[in-house]
Structure 1
Amino acid sequence: MRGGALPVAAVAHLLLMTHHWQYKNPGPINLPPVIVLLHFVRIHLCLKPPLCLHCRLVSSVPAPSAPFAIQDNDNTAPLRYRLFGRPLTKTKKEGKDQEENKENVTTKKNKKAKKSQQWHCCKNRCRVSPAPQEEETLEKCHSSVSQDEVVAVKRQMEKEEEPVKDEGIPQALSAKVEEVAVTTEKKLRSEHIKCLGFPNPAQICYINSSLQSLLTLEDFVTAISHQEQVWSLIPEAAVLRTFKNISEHHFSGDAQEKLCLLATFKRAVALWAPEFRDHQQKDAHEFLTAVLDQIRYWGPQLQVLTAGMGMAYSCPVEDHLMFKMRNTRTCKSCGAGSTREEDFTNLSLDLPPGGGTVEKMLDNYLMETELEYRCECGATKSGQRSSFATLPRVLVLHLKRFRYTPTFQLEKIHDPVDLRRELVVSSGQDGACYSLVSTINHIGATARSGHYICDGVDPDVGPVDLTDRWFTYNDTVVTQTSSVNVCNQRQRSSYVLFYRRQLWLALWGDESTMASALANRAIGAIVGSAVADAAAQPLHWVYDLQKLQGILAQDPNPEFRTESANPFYRRQTGQQSCYGDQAYVLLESLSECGGLNVDDLKQRILKFFGPGSEYDTPINDPYRERGGPRPQLPIEGPWRHASLKSFLKNVDAGKEETGCENDCQIDGIAKMAPVVAFYAGKPDMLEKVELATRVTQNNDECVAETLAAARILEHFILNGPDPKALDKVLDQLSDKNRKQPQDLDKAVIGHLHQVKDNLSKTPQELIPAVFPNT
């Protein structure tokens, strides 16, 4: 990450003004936010970045979640009975296939203990024997909690597709990519997957599958969690409170804790939907609808309550899953008609005879139908048509797999549904592209038997799935799969489908092309930041305005200047400043850990900048007294600036918060490109940027400026060059629900307006106008 090729003029703009012009006064250096944000925006709205081999290494490594250890808790039977009631008893015939199946899924500890007791989790209809192809799935899912605690993953991982190889990566780097990928994949399998399941002691697979699908919607989950201070004002909002607790314990290996949370959640839903009070088999779609309706119910009360407190509440269901359908009736004779709109959280679609695609089922739903209606003109024939008035972020489709026969017998429809990852939905003159992110499946031969399981995309992959990593949630049994397997294997069992809107998919035509474009822009952001830092390093910390003007008069684009004008330190042209080196350390940590790990980042910063490093020189001693002899400047070698010195002191003192509280240099803006590139499009991107910033700069001013720059860079990565990018970021900063203090919001907004006013100016025009005011 020490080189690269970029449009040099664009790099120089970012570098000269963004990283390296500070206050003219010596001592602690403060941030000139106007210049910083101006040229940060300028380069990222114009830059067409190349690829970098080092960054290819990072981009090719998936981001696993942090590991979680499984706790071996002793969940006793009375606790399960107390929470969910007594299990039903059923003696199964021990056939040869069933005995072999039991042998495969039973641990060594329980091999000799043949089970005769089964927890029946079926559909809210009657029971019969399952179909032969589904018998193995049902056998495995109806296990006791104690066994599930010991064996969280009973089936072998499905064979994964080989990742696409990048021919541009040298063999040595390819080997490194493979090594890191294998390491993170092992951690994911052995630790991450085991903890994701939910126990099922008493016919609650309909709850488990519904929850797993909702937890796949990370934006929805985040919207609930971030508004806890609002909905916690109403003690009766138990559904929101319990759902948040379940999401926080999703990765926990504590089965007993999960049992208690599931029981609490069931009771909370049953308070308003009494049909779920007993321990009988229920319908997953009905339960899901009840949960969403209850969350919506509290919306008006919370909005009224918060309006009088200067706060705001935004209903997560309305923001993410609700949409409006427009029903239009038109008289066949005179053409007169009427229109009305209704709110929906999901659509129920009829399966066409013989099966078909989801698109076809949706088209049938929207097709005009004939209606018996007496018009004022006297005609009795009218046409009725439904259309989308608005489109949601997440579109939930319910496939009507159960119907009554003429003799009033309930039967299951096994006609296949052609599942595809992408779905295009039209709304008036507009349309939207959606990607399948989760399915609730009913496994069972008839309407009188069955079990619910869920397939869901790994929430860690973000809105653009570069890994195609999915999980199958079968109560406590969680296995890794892919969208290809899901679409192929769930054609006859898919029951509820969750599609997430892809705002950028329509621009590219298909997901692979879009993913490649976004990956290139993410890589380009990292490369641009590093090359810009190296290009301007010879002009770092030049406070003499006349000197700067003289340099620019001789060479208007002095990037990679051979003769250093830096008054404090000198490094070879092409080497990083202390800011760029922090970005490199952060990039290395992200690559090796598969995501942001604050503890690992602290250790790497300590090693790179601490004792024994090239930064460890007498003048860079964090304990050097200011009253001593003045050093001969510029020094040869890198400069350890204020925030790094404070970081080392805080580490020595054993402080948990290692960042400097009063240094307001631009460390955060200069080093945050790898974090934004890694988490772009994910709801926790800003949180990750803040955590990385506070490692060395633990103050709100730096965090506020860095988060504003992170929003701009994320917008560039996700959308490409956009003249309206600043306006969109300004709208985001004006959101009342932001966690940053309002006074800092206003300051950042003011800086961004100054950036807009100065975007068209050249460096020669900009310096006299801005520099004296910093």
Structure 2
Amino acid sequence: MTHQGCKHLREFKSTDGTGSYRILVSYFVACSSTEARKRKAKSCICHSCRVISARLHSCLSCVYFGCYGGNDHIKQHATTKRHNFAVDLSHGAVFCFLCKDYIYDAEFDEILAMSRKASKQSIGLDKTCQPWEPSCIEKELMQLHPKRRKVTEYSTIGLRGLINLGNTCFMNCIVQALTHTPLLRDFFLADKHNCLMLNESQRCLVCEMSRLFQEFYSGVRTPHTPYRLLHLVWTHARHLAGYEQQDAHEFLIAALDVLHRHCKGNNGLSKSNPHHCNCIIDQIFTGGLQSDVTCQKCNNVSTTIDPFWDISLDLGPPPNSLLLNPALYGAFEQPTSLMSCLKRFTRPEHLGSSAKIKCSKCHSYQESTKQLTMKKLPVVACFHLKRFEHSTGYHKKISTYVEFPEELDMTAFMSSSRSNNNGYSNQVVHLTANGLTSQHKYSLYAVVNHRGTADTGHYTCFIRQHKNQWFKCEDHLITKVDLKDVLRSEGYLLFYHKQILEYE
């Protein structure tokens, strides 16, 4: 797609204006009224072959709908009638048959944004969401999506490669993971983002992510070129600007942060919890990490709870401070599985004499122990295996194979399951009366891998399309793989989705 404007379209607008585009967008793209939606359902078929097409285009000069691709009747119409412009009715993009490409026009883009806003207001999508409540977020999300999208077996919808724009594989693999996150997909495909930057929507990363989801689930199989997304990343996260290879984990956190900031102005803060945002990013990715610091003199426990988007797990030697009873816990053994990483992450840590903390009870500086546990689990749990070590003049990658499961139970690492004896319990997960599994159970749905060294390498991603359908995404290449290939991979970022909110 050209982003520089089109002289042919400028000439067209000077003589024919923008009226035809406004009508098409209002009645057949944004559908700003109930009547418009009914009209679209009845009228959106190719006038030549009478087939309903996912890529139906409308002539901008006359009343003609034609299929794009396949028989390509819209192109035949343009050649015969010399009508050089067509509008893609799935997302409002304009195709110029003289430039032979989709073209960008600021005036048309503003018309499209205004029409979409009017459409959301007409069906009530611009209403303020209910305040975010950590205890009932899963229930609220399920109520928002009572008819959840079902990706049928052998379906290829949503599978689309991404062109590498020069060492941008780190971005491509994160985009693949995000576009296959079910609740995030529902949010963007429902066009629920009400942008507050109407005259500058090109600067809004959430608007671009919405466009990206529409591209992924449009049914088009040709690789997509995410140049607009890359430009916005450079604009809003300048430390990632340039064509050098970047860290995929760093990009994930930067992307979530920018999306959160752009959504925050739209959704605001929870009335019941003014320190927590109720935007879609926080609803899906934010969990609560509890830190308990215990005074060794009086056993007083000081507790703090901090939000997190991901959990970073060490693979190398433990910190200089010793764990309690290292002989019992095998503290110096290198973890070989995700479970052993999590057990190590949640074990009590002796802070030592060099890190004494003033106890709020005995009012003196004492040695203490610190233990981390999960106070609240997010809908999507992302685990970052710290494979890269960086120190002055020294870079190292830890390529040790770390086993990770298809299904994960986090019950043992919850604050409610904490044991004073060993830092974690062996609590058995029970089935509820209606047959649902524990609310702390997760299923793997995406894995980001890195091959190479700490200084150079290449990122790839595995994504789950259906419960038993896995695919490998390597930039523009999408290939089907077996689950065993996923579980045998090195693993750098692991994405798990709560089973209680899983889509069939």
Relative to the length of structure 2, the TM-score reads 0.56
Q: CA deviation at 1:442?
A: 0.3
Q: Does 2:480 correspond to 1:480?
A: yes
Letter in 1 for 2:405: R
Q: Does 2:242 correspond to 1:274?
A: no
Q: CA deviation at 1:69?
A: 6.5
Aligned counterpart, 1:500: 497
- Give the whole-Å Cα distance in 1 for the aligned partners of 2:270 and 2:227: 30
Aligned counterpart, 1:411: 396
Q: Does 2:443 correspond to 1:435?
A: yes
Look up the SS of the partner of 2:244 in the other structure: coil
What stretches of structure 2 of length at least 5 have no aligned partner? Answer: 1-53, 56-67, 73-94, 96-100, 102-152, 272-276, 317-332, 418-438
CA contact (8 A) 1:453 1:473 kept: yes
- Give the whole-Å Cα distance in 1 for the aligned partners of 2:175 and 2:344: 29
Aligned counterpart, 1:424: 409
- Give the whole-Å Cα distance in 2 for the aligned partners of 1:452 and 1:306: 37
Report the aligned-residue RMSD: 3.2
For each residue in 1:427-457, what CA deviation from the matched residue of structure 2 results, as whole angstroms up to 9, or x when unmatched?
233761111110110011x212210000010
Letter in 1 for 2:348: E
Following superposition of structure 1 onto structure 2, how do residues 660-699 of structure 1 map, counting pairs within 5 Å?
A: 681=503
Aligned counterpart, 1:380: 366
Look up the SS of the partner of 2:194 in the other structure: helix
- Give the whole-Å Cα distance in 2 for the aligned partners of 1:319 and 1:364: 27
Letter in 1 for 2:442: Y
Q: CA deviation at 1:269?
A: 2.0
- Give the whole-Å Cα distance in 2 for the aligned partners of 1:69 and 1:326: 54
Q: CA deviation at 1:336?
A: 2.3
- Give the whole-Å Cα distance in 2 for the aligned partners of 1:214 and 1:280: 22
Aligned counterpart, 2:345: 365
2:264 pairs with 300, 315, 329, which one? 300
- Give the whole-Å Cα distance in 2 for the aligned partners of 1:338 and 1:355: 29
Q: CA deviation at 1:410?
A: 0.5
Q: Does 2:195 correspond to 1:252?
A: no
2:315 pairs with 329, 351, 371, which one? 351
- Give the whole-Å Cα distance in 2 for the aligned partners of 1:300 and 1:451: 33
Look up the SS of the partner of 2:358 in the other structure: coil
For each residue in 1:307-347, what CA deviation from the matched residue of structure 2 results, as whole angstroms up to 9, or x when unmatched?
9xxxxx94111111111111111111112232211111001
- Give the whole-Å Cα distance in 2 for the aligned partners of 1:333 and 1:204: 53
CA contact (8 A) 1:331 1:379 kept: no
Mark the structure with the bigger radius of gyration: 1
Q: Does 2:381 correspond to 1:398?
A: no
Q: CA deviation at 1:382?
A: 0.6
For each residue in 1:133-160, what CA deviation from the matched residue of structure 2 results, as whole angstroms up to 9, or x when unmatched?
xxxxxxxxxxxxxxxxxxxxxxxxxxxx
1:285 to 1:374, Cα distance in 2 relative to 1, 3 A: closer
Look up the SS of the partner of 2:213 in the other structure: helix
Q: Does 2:297 correspond to 1:289?
A: no
Look up the SS of the partner of 2:161 in the other structure: coil
CA contact (8 A) 2:379 2:498 kept: yes
For each residue in 1:617-674, what CA deviation from the matched residue of structure 2 results, as whole angstroms up to 9, or x when unmatched?
xxxxxxxxxxxxxxxxxxxxxxxxxxxxxxxxxxxxxxxxxxxxxxxxxxxxxxxxxx
For each residue in 1:570-620, what CA deviation from the matched residue of structure 2 results, as whole angstroms up to 9, or x when unmatched?
xxxxxxxxxxxxxxxxxxxxxxxxxxxxxxxxxxxxxxxxxxxxxxxxxxx
- Give the whole-Å Cα distance in 2 for the aligned partners of 1:306 and 1:361: 34
Letter in 2 for 1:473: C
- Give the whole-Å Cα distance in 1 for the aligned partners of 2:303 and 2:159: 49
2:208 pairs with 238, 242, 245, which one? 242
- Give the whole-Å Cα distance in 2 for the aligned partners of 1:324 and 1:276: 27
CA contact (8 A) 1:322 1:343 kept: yes
- Give the whole-Å Cα distance in 1 for the aligned partners of 2:306 and 2:188: 24
Look up the SS of the partner of 1:241 in the other structure: helix
Relative to the length of structure 1, the TM-score reads 0.37
CA contact (8 A) 1:327 1:339 kept: yes
1:328 to 1:358, Cα distance in 2 relative to 1, 3 A: same
1:195 to 1:414, Cα distance in 2 relative to 1, 3 A: closer
- Give the whole-Å Cα distance in 2 for the aligned partners of 1:276 and 1:470: 30
- Give the whole-Å Cα distance in 2 for the aligned partners of 1:213 and 1:398: 14
- Give the whole-Å Cα distance in 2 for the aligned partners of 1:269 and 1:201: 13
Q: CA deviation at 1:229?
A: 5.0
Following superposition of structure 1 onto structure 2, how do residues 590-669 of structure 1 map, counting pairs within 5 Å?
A: none
Look up the SS of the partner of 2:376 in the other structure: coil
CA contact (8 A) 1:370 1:383 kept: yes
Deviates more, 1:396-405 or 1:347-356: 347-356
1:451 to 1:433, Cα distance in 2 relative to 1, 3 A: same
Look up the SS of the partner of 2:385 in the other structure: strand
Letter in 1 for 2:382: V
Aligned counterpart, 2:454: 447
* Higher RCO (Cα < 8 Å, 6 or more apart): 1
CA contact (8 A) 1:69 1:253 kept: no
Following superposition of structure 1 onto structure 2, how do residues 206-225 of structure 1 map, counting pairs within 5 Å?
A: 206-225=170-189
Q: CA deviation at 1:275?
A: 1.3
Following superposition of structure 1 onto structure 2, how do residues 46-195 of structure 1 map, counting pairs within 5 Å?
A: 192=156
Q: CA deviation at 1:389?
A: 1.3
Letter in 1 for 2:305: E
Look up the SS of the partner of 1:230 in the other structure: coil
- Give the whole-Å Cα distance in 1 for the aligned partners of 2:357 and 2:334: 36
Aligned counterpart, 1:750: none
Following superposition of structure 1 onto structure 2, how do residues 507-526 of structure 1 map, counting pairs within 5 Å?
A: none
CA contact (8 A) 1:193 1:478 kept: no
For each residue in 1:379-429, what CA deviation from the matched residue of structure 2 results, as whole angstroms up to 9, or x when unmatched?
431111111111111000101001136x64101101110121011113233
- Give the whole-Å Cα distance in 1 for the aligned partners of 2:291 and 2:494: 23
Q: CA deviation at 1:194?
A: 11
- Give the whole-Å Cα distance in 2 for the aligned partners of 1:284 and 1:428: 30
For each residue in 1:535-594, what CA deviation from the matched residue of structure 2 results, as whole angstroms up to 9, or x when unmatched?
xxxxxxxxxxxxxxxxxxxxxxxxxxxxxxxxxxxxxxxxxxxxxxxxxxxxxxxxxxxx
Letter in 1 for 2:371: R
- Give the whole-Å Cα distance in 2 for the aligned partners of 1:401 and 1:339: 30
Look up the SS of the partner of 1:278 in the other structure: coil
- Give the whole-Å Cα distance in 2 for the aligned partners of 1:397 and 1:440: 10
- Give the whole-Å Cα distance in 2 for the aligned partners of 1:202 and 1:280: 8
Letter in 1 for 2:220: S
Letter in 1 for 2:231: R
1:681 to 1:380, Cα distance in 2 relative to 1, 3 A: same
- Give the whole-Å Cα distance in 1 for the aligned partners of 2:208 and 2:266: 17
Aligned residue pairs total 307
CA contact (8 A) 1:232 1:241 kept: no
Letter in 1 for 2:454: A
1:69 to 1:351, Cα distance in 2 relative to 1, 3 A: farther
Identity %: 24
For each residue in 1:61-118, what CA deviation from the matched residue of structure 2 results, as whole angstroms up to 9, or x when unmatched?
xxxxx999799x9xxxxx9xxxxxxxxxxxxxxxxxxxxxxxxxxxxxxxxxxxxxxx
CA contact (8 A) 1:202 1:279 kept: yes
CA contact (8 A) 2:407 2:441 kept: yes
CA contact (8 A) 1:355 1:416 kept: no
1:233 to 1:423, Cα distance in 2 relative to 1, 3 A: same
- Give the whole-Å Cα distance in 2 for the aligned partners of 1:296 and 1:207: 18
Aligned counterpart, 1:662: none
